[in-house]
């Protein structure tokens, strides 16, 4: 599994190589190992979100992990009926977002900051151990990561649009 760990280390996404190597069983599919490493807290920018966490509860930590301009993101109001609706403010932009789940929140945040080079993109890696695994990555690394076989986020199509043009 050295190739996965080497690739993560090259992208500066691995916090502790020694601990990570002990968590990656031989023969395990690399995308599964990525979920395992995220859940263990060994990925820089990795977040584990338990089932039942509402988008309005996650938005603060997620915006902080995205960094840059996203740190100034604000939820102005939360409405729960008929569906969860967030009234948000980001700079001069104010919007109302109907967000049914965490992937919908990730989509809206990625879209809001699609042109902000200083904001990390959020990849939805998938589910592991009854939690959703997210990874905030630098936009300049997106193209390289999306070409890797181990990096197969659920929102890969949306992430393609966030790759900076040269």
Owning domain of residue 62:
4-162
Over residues 96-100, mean pLDDT: 92
State yes or no: pLDDT of 156 exceeds 70.
yes
Q: How far apart are CA 27 and CA 36, in angstroms?
A: 14
Average pLDDT, stretch 118-147?
95
Segment 14-46, tens digit of pLDDT: 998 888 888 888 888 999 999 999 999 999 999
DSSP code at position 84:
-
* CA quadruple 97, 126, 24, 38: dihedral, nearest 10: 10
pLDDT digits 0-9 by tens, 52-64: 899 999 999 999 9
Q: What is the pTM of this model?
A: 0.92
For position 166, what pLDDT does the model report? 59
Three-class DSSP category at 144:
helix
Considering its fold, how many domains does the chain have in total?
1
Q: What is the pLDDT of residue 2?
A: 54
Percent of the chain clearing pLDDT 90 (strictly above): 79
d(CA 9, CA 140): 16
């Amino acid at each position: 599994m050295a190739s996965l760990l080497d690739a993560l280390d090259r992208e500066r996404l691995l916090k502790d190589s020694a601990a990570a190597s002990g968590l990656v069983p031989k023969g395990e599919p690399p995308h599964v190992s990525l979920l395992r490493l995220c859940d263990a807290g060994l990925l820089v920018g990795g977040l584990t979100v338990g089932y039942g966490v509402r988008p309005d509860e996650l938005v603060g930590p997620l915006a902080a992990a995205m960094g840059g301009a996203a740190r100034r993101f604000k939820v102005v109001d939360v409405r729960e009926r008929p569906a969860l609706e967030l009234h948000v403010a980001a700079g001069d932009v104010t919007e109302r977002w109907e967000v049914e789940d965490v992937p919908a929140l990730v989509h809206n945040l990625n879209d809001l900051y699609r042109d902000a080079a200083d904001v990390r993109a959020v990849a939805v890696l998938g589910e592991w151990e009854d939690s959703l695994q997210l990874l905030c990555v630098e936009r300049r690394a997106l193209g390289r990561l999306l070409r890797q076989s181990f990096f197969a986020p659920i929102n890969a199509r949306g992430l393609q649009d966030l790759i900076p043009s040269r």
